[in-house]
Amino acid sequence: MTELRFVRKRGAEIAGLFDDLAPLRIAVFRDYPYLYEGTLDYEKAYLQTYADAPRAFLCAVYDAERMVGATTCIPLADETQEVQQPFLDAGYDLSKVFYFGESILLPAYRGRGIGHRFFDEREAHAAGFGTYTMTCFCAVQRTPNHPLQPLDYQPLDQFWGKRGYQKVPDLQSLFSWPDVGEKDSTAKPMTYWVRQL
């Protein structure tokens, strides 16, 4: 991994990497299970939430000048209402929770430990403030035997479990986006995983 370069940005600095991060998100999330038919305009609007939050954090990995992976996190109190709502309904103190956004990596760079590095970076960032007690993220829930599920598909549940995260089925949001080949957005259930810091 000596040829790879890691870059860290916080708050408003993140906006400087939008042009690299947006197309990477579209490329990675196009694959199953997200099947995301993304647009750059939507991406930049979504990412602005992170640039607007002083405590937000981005860790990106570059191969020469190409961003090949990235991960983000943000205080849950700075996230959108659709992310906050299930935690509010369940009685969580938003000021104690750090939300992990994407953790994305092009296929050719997987299996090198970068996924663990991304979790280490985000957990260390959240712990560094000394006020957060929990980290969380969400993952899409596709129907069993989805027609576009690849035969060799391996969910990341085991990896997340080894990192100490537990799936909480009662914590769910609905996010909408158009699936690959579709023009209209449809709602997908997103289930949260949590871990005590």
What pLDDT digit, counting tens, does each position of 106-158 carry?
999 999 999 999 999 999 999 999 999 999 999 999 998 899 999 999 999 99
pLDDT of residue 2: 54
Cβ contacts of 179 within 8 Å, gap of 6 or more: 35, 36, 37, 186
Which residues span the domain enclosing 166? Answer: 4-196
pLDDT band for position 3 (cuts 50, 70, 90): confident
Least confident of 38-42, 102-106, 190-194: 38-42
| 9 alpha-carbon distance from chain centroid | 16
Least confident of 42-46, 74-78, 91-95: 42-46
The domain tally of the chain equals 1
pTM of the model: 0.95
Decide if pLDDT at 9 tops 90.
yes
Asked whether 187 and 141 are in contact (CB, 8 A), the reply is no
Task: With CA atoms as reference, report the closest residue to 165 among 140, 131, 136.
Answer: 136
> What CATH number is associated with residue 144?
3.40.630.30
Rounded to the nearest integer, the mean pLDDT of the chain is: 96
Q: Which two tokens stand for residue 13?
A: 């600095």
Q: What angle do CA 174, 78, 32 make, to 5 degrees?
A: 35
pLDDT of residue 1: 47
Q: How many angstroms separate the CA atoms of 180 and 190, rounded?
A: 18
pLDDT of residue 145: 87
